[in-house]
């Protein structure tokens, strides 16, 4: 899965780092560092981190099925049961 964080939009609330620390970390008080190619094993944590971003700065491609459009912060990831 491919992640893009709009670092101009990111305000350093660190919700993503709290929910998916394997993918997102804070360097200092306001600088976000992240892995743009998150591992499959972190899919659920990344989905929660994307949804929790208060400024909708995170876009995730390939979070669900390849046919789905990218999931952006503030949107629910669809899950077929």
- Rounded to whole angstroms, the Cα distance separating 33 from 27 reads 7
The C-alpha angle 15, 41, 30, rounded to 5 degrees, equals: 25
The residues spanned by each domain of the chain are 2-72
User: For residue range 10-63, what is the model confidence (pLDDT) as tens digits?
Assistant: 999 999 999 999 999 999 887 999 999 999 999 999 999 999 999 999 999 988
- pTM for the model: 0.75
| C-alpha to C-alpha distance for 80 and 64, rounded to whole angstroms | 10
The 3-state DSSP class for residue 32 equals strand
State how far the Cα of 40 lies from the Cα of 62, in Å rounded to an integer: 10
CB contact at 8 A, 2 and 37: yes
The CATH code for residues 2-72 is: 3.30.70.20
């Amino acid at each position: 899965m491919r992640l893009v964080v709009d670092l101009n939009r990111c305000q350093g609330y660190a919700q993503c780092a709290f929910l998916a620390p394997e993918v997102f970390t804070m360097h200092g008080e306001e600088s976000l560092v992240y892995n743009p190619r998150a591992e499959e094993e972190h899919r659920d944590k990344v989905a929660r981190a994307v949804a929790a971003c208060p400024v909708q700065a995170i876009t995730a491609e390939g979070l669900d099925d390849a046919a789905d459009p990218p999931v952006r912060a503030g949107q629910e990831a669809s899950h077929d049961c």
